[in-house]
Structure 1
Amino acid sequence: MWSWLSKIASACLGPVRRYARTRKDEDGGDNGRVVDDLLWSRDLGRHAAGEFSFAVAQANEVLEDHSQVETGGAATFVGVYDGHGGAEAARFISEHLFAHLVRLAQENGTISEDVVRSAFSATEEGFLTLVRRTHFIKPMIAAVGSCCLVGVIWRGTLYVANLGDSRAVVGSLGRSNKIVAEPLTRDHNACMEEVRQELISRHPDDSEIVVLKHGVLAHQGHNSDTMAHVDLQCMIRSTLIWKLLDLFLPILMRLGVAKRLVRAALKQSARKREMRYDDLKKVEKGVRRFFHDDITVVVVYIDHELVQGRDTKAPELSVRGFVDSVGTSRFSGLSALS
């Protein structure tokens, strides 16, 4: 299932402030609170159409959320990949999807809906090839999957693509300066009737393509002569973070807003277990999974005073979630495209 939105950003480029560095959570030094080593953030960064804030909280022994923000003078790319059954699929997407997008954009001379679709397809086929090649020595790789949520801003147009049940919302200023939030994506998983019917229609010879397991709907993984059935449990995401958006976006400065949202979700997780957030911070990765899942939040601000279609002085950077190093983005190869 794909959801797309086109949005135009226009006007002139204004002055840009300096930006906070990428860092782990440093809540604690001066006020005596416990530092959360499993909370990472980049408080504020610049992209071609505005600014972004980025934060990740780890819960699993191996972080299954992979995510990235790619910035350039003419474009911005945001990807969040929620892995399940392991991190291999999400890691593969983070290493290949953006590269396919840049390659296809160069071949087509632009970024378009078809280019984004083709980048998704090329990435999926690449991972399936990897599974076919390696499942004999690593059988459980056939059980690994990932959601994939992507946003691309190109020449004033925003494309949003989603496979899975990660979510994107857009907030705009409504009456009385209140933030009005609208969903940009629909969940796409086996808990939805239309998705179950799609799976059944595409796999008519497989009576177990959708099964009920431990009271939860699941769809089966690869089923062929070389692949064993794999049960992938579909997970219903909490709507807490979207309720928090209404609470936080109107009253907080842009600086560190993603981290504040993640912290609020973590505090809610602690309250549900009748414990303090400071005590939750002391829980090690792996064990933390009993309290909450890996969490990734990227807040992207689109400033309409930026001129539509004009290259800006935004840095060409590649920022990976929970990775402190910041590299050069491949978007530099698109600077000559119109």
Structure 2
Amino acid sequence: MHKVLKTVVDLFRRRNDDLITFDQDRYTRSINLKRHCFGEFSMANAQANAIMEDQSQVEVASQYALYLGVYDGHGGVEASLYVLNNLFNNLLRFAHENDDPIADILRNAVADTENGFLDYVENNIGLIRTIGKVGSCCLAGVLWNGVLYIANLGDSRAVIGSVVNKRVSAVQLTTDHNCNDPVIREELISLHPGDPTIVMEQNGWRVKGISMVSRSIGDAYLKRPQFLLPTYEEVPHPFDRGVLSAEPEMLTRVIEATDKFLIFASDGLWELMTNDEAVQIVHKNPRKGIAKRLVTTALVEAARRRGITYRAMKTATPGKETCVGRRTFHDDISVIVVFLDNKTPLFKKHLLDLSYRGSTNGSQPSAFALSGLTATESHSFTGDLKKSFIKRFKGSTSKGRSSQTEHLRHLYMGRIDSDESSQTESSVNSTG
């Protein structure tokens, strides 16, 4: 065999072997390819922590809309699970209650989710001493009538792949709210004048020497001083007001014909590849399983940096209690890849309103099913929702509410059941 041809064959074989290893890995999951009204999408994740702290979701409306979320938890899983179970439902509730622009509705939904989780912390800190230290990054997006709306807190990242003259380029849509960025450090210093310890170098730059991210959901002990307990020895200097923010960075982008796909991913991916590398992988490979391919490429790189193969690394136990724990190789990784085939919905292809979560392989009914976004003509996101909900609630009573309306109420209160229930997840669902 010709030397160059043999090299190509060997490379192809190794890549296929790595994908097989991903499928054999106990701590990975993927959804290879599903439809949404503007095209197709793929999801994948890999666990590194003792408990998977990343959460992700895709909410597919039968027409007009798509919701994406990646929630990178830290210090525990309670905050990211709370965001998973409440943010999307809060979004629909705010859309029902008023006619604000979508960006404002998304911002308000994030704020309500933050307040709900901090209330949860306040009510449970006596029972769960560490709950005040749990937080989550939050990357949430709504695709509606050819426009993408994003709210971002933390260092998860949204990147769009644009193709011009068959050449793909990466456009980073969000800012990484990470203290290793000097711009973020300057922002913190300007917000906290007179506090010389607002950013400290402690295994990298961190807020108060503790948090690498400057914005998050949760992290109550860095936002509300009443949660600062003596057991939280991580705080090297006292403070009298919050040092982390829950104000999301908001972005709106009209999807152009050159915008071909979108990548939403936690920082576990971006620590192991660049934006350009990620969009090249998506652009040059088959759609089916593309999110899995991105995560696999990251895992191969994580193993390579430690001088071993992915096949050897996959035997490591999650966590970082030992020098060979999975967390010593890489962070939790969550990836969603969304192909943007059409600015307008694919009316001829019937879709169900479905919800996909990174923690499960299947789907379940989405709250979109009750949102009114199934009409044959589009007017406005809030208008369609409001009309639908008024119609559904009209004439119902507390004694005789329909099963569909009752299900909607539970959805709004964060009680949606997942395919993979656990005591931890139900403990952080909103209780109204």
What is the TM-score with the length of structure 1 in the denominator? 0.81
Structure 2 counterpart of 1:218, from 198, 207, 215:
207
Q: CA deviation at 1:333?
A: 2.5
Instruction: Give the match for residue 174 of structure 2.
Output: 185
Q: CA deviation at 1:215?
A: 5.0
Structure 1 counterpart of 2:51, from 46, 57, 62:
62
Matched, 1:120 2:85: no
Instruction: Give the match for residue 39 of structure 1.
Output: 28
Q: CA deviation at 1:172?
A: 1.6
* Correspondences of 1:279-318 after superposition (within 5 Å): 279-286=312-319, 287-304=325-342, 306-307=344-345, 313-318=350-355
Q: CA deviation digits over 1:75-128, x for unaligned, max 9? A: 111100111111111111101100100111122257611000000100011111
> Relative to structure 1, is the Cα distance of residues 241 and 262 closer, same or farther in structure 2, using a 3 angstrom cutoff?
farther
CA distance in 1, matches of 2:196, 2:350: 55
> Relative to structure 1, is the Cα distance of residues 311 and 185 closer, same or farther in structure 2, using a 3 angstrom cutoff?
farther
Instruction: Give the match for residue 75 of structure 1.
Output: 65
> Relative to structure 1, is the Cα distance of residues 299 and 139 closer, same or farther in structure 2, using a 3 angstrom cutoff?
same
Matched, 1:322 2:355: no
CA distance in 2, matches of 1:34, 1:335: 38
Q: CA deviation digits over 1:270-316, x for unaligned, max 9? A: 111111111112222222101111111110011126359x7963221
**Deviates further, 217-226 or 96-105:** 217-226
Instruction: Give the match for residue 255 of structure 1.
Output: 288
Instruction: Give the match for residue 165 of structure 1.
Output: 155
> Relative to structure 1, is the Cα distance of residues 334 and 90 closer, same or farther in structure 2, using a 3 angstrom cutoff?
same
Secondary structure of the residue aligned to 2:20 is coil
* Aligned-residue RMSD, C-alpha: 2.9
Q: CA deviation digits over 1:211-262, x for unaligned, max 9? A: 33345323461352343365599x8952615243243122211110000010
CA distance in 1, matches of 2:224, 2:151: 27
Greater C-alpha Rg: 2
> Relative to structure 1, is the Cα distance of residues 91 and 241 closer, same or farther in structure 2, using a 3 angstrom cutoff?
farther
**Deviates further, 159-168 or 327-336:** 327-336
Secondary structure of the residue aligned to 2:50 is coil
**Deviates further, 242-251 or 315-324:** 242-251
Instruction: Give the match for residue 322 of structure 2.
Output: none
Instruction: Give the match for residue 84 of structure 1.
Output: 74
Q: CA deviation at 1:325?
A: 3.7
Secondary structure of the residue aligned to 2:112 is helix
Q: CA deviation at 1:38?
A: 1.0
Structure 1 counterpart of 2:275, from 239, 242, 245:
242
CA distance in 2, matches of 1:142, 1:158: 33
Matched, 1:131 2:132: no
Instruction: Give the match for residue 305 of structure 2.
Output: 272
Instruction: Give the match for residue 14 of structure 1.
Output: none
Instruction: Give the match for residue 94 of structure 2.
Output: 104
**Deviates further, 318-327 or 263-272:** 318-327
Which consecutive residues of structure 2, in runs of 5 or more, have no partner in the other structure?
1-17, 211-221, 236-242, 245-266, 320-324, 374-382, 385-432
Aligned pair count reads 307
The amino acid of 2:143's aligned partner reads I
Which gives a bigger RCO, structure 1 or 2 (Cα 8 Å, sep 6+)? 1
- Asked if the contact 1:81/1:146 (under 8 Å) is kept, the reply is yes
**Deviates further, 208-217 or 127-136:** 208-217
Secondary structure of the residue aligned to 2:130 is helix
CA distance in 2, matches of 1:222, 1:138: 18
CA distance in 2, matches of 1:259, 1:215: 30
Instruction: Give the match for residue 40 of structure 2.
Output: 51
Matched, 1:152 2:142: yes
CA distance in 1, matches of 2:99, 2:348: 16
> Relative to structure 1, is the Cα distance of residues 91 and 305 closer, same or farther in structure 2, using a 3 angstrom cutoff?
closer
Secondary structure of the residue aligned to 1:27 is helix
CA distance in 1, matches of 2:335, 2:133: 26
Q: CA deviation at 1:206?
A: 6.4
CA distance in 2, matches of 1:282, 1:249: 28
What is the TM-score with the length of structure 2 in the denominator? 0.65
Which consecutive residues of structure 1, in runs of 5 or more, have no partner in the other structure?
1-24
Q: Give the structure with the larger helix fraction.
A: 2
Matched, 1:27 2:64: no
Matched, 1:333 2:370: yes
The amino acid of 1:240's aligned partner reads M
CA distance in 2, matches of 1:322, 1:87: 12
> Relative to structure 1, is the Cα distance of residues 295 and 172 closer, same or farther in structure 2, using a 3 angstrom cutoff?
same
- Asked if the contact 1:65/1:80 (under 8 Å) is kept, the reply is yes
Secondary structure of the residue aligned to 1:139 is coil
> Relative to structure 1, is the Cα distance of residues 335 and 185 closer, same or farther in structure 2, using a 3 angstrom cutoff?
same
Q: CA deviation digits over 1:168-190, x for unaligned, max 9? A: 11112112x12121111011133
Secondary structure of the residue aligned to 1:225 is helix
- Asked if the contact 1:34/1:282 (under 8 Å) is kept, the reply is no
